[in-house]
Amino acid sequence: MTYSIWLVPNSKNAKYLNRIIQNLAKEHNAPKFSAHITLYSGIKSLSKAKYAIQLLDARKIKATKTGIGQSDYVWKTLYIKIKKDKTLAKTQKTLHKTLGTKYDFAPHISLIYKKMSCSTKRKIKTHLKIKKSFAFGGVMIIRSSTDVSKWKVLHRKRLA
């Protein structure tokens, strides 16, 4: 069993992003999920993950969009590219020092998880109108799975 640590948007931004994610999922028969930035994944110990998030700076985080990306990797089918600023880099460094495992951090907010043709992804991208920045108000630990329907939130921490 593995765990992931997510940075989650505040309620206003969650509503905005989740509406986009839910609409894309419905339109393309894809799994539904909540908006997030995966800060760390592949964690083997829940207690270590809980300890790691207690060490994080408790201030809210603002993330800036740098573009919309697409890939053949299902977990990054179509996504919002996020600038890796000092705050995100510091957050990632704290987690890495505590958890010690290798995790390639490329901040993004996934919009859909589904195998699709490049032309379909390009078509969706041209119709997306995404705002420039997002406020994040918490972190959570989830039990990870390759089946999105089996993801489960296990622990939450609010950012002040």
Q: Which pLDDT belongs to residue 159?
A: 87
User: What pTM value is reported for the model?
Assistant: 0.94
Rounded to whole angstroms, the Cα distance separating 154 from 143 reads: 7
Q: Is the pLDDT assigned to residue 82 strictly greater than 90?
A: yes
Ordered by where they begin, the domains of the chain are 3-158 (3.90.1140.10)
Considering the chain, what percentage of its residues have pLDDT values greater than 90?
A: 90
Output phi, psi for 105, to 5 deg: -85, 115
Token pair 């995100």 in the structure block, residue: 88
How does pLDDT run across 37-77, given as a tens digit for each residue? Answer: 999 999 999 999 999 999 998 788 999 999 999 999 999 99
- List the one residue out of 158, 160, 111 whose CA is nearest residue 139: 158
Q: Is the pLDDT assigned to residue 160 strictly greater than 80?
A: no
How does pLDDT run across 94-107, given as a tens digit for each residue? Answer: 999 999 888 889 99
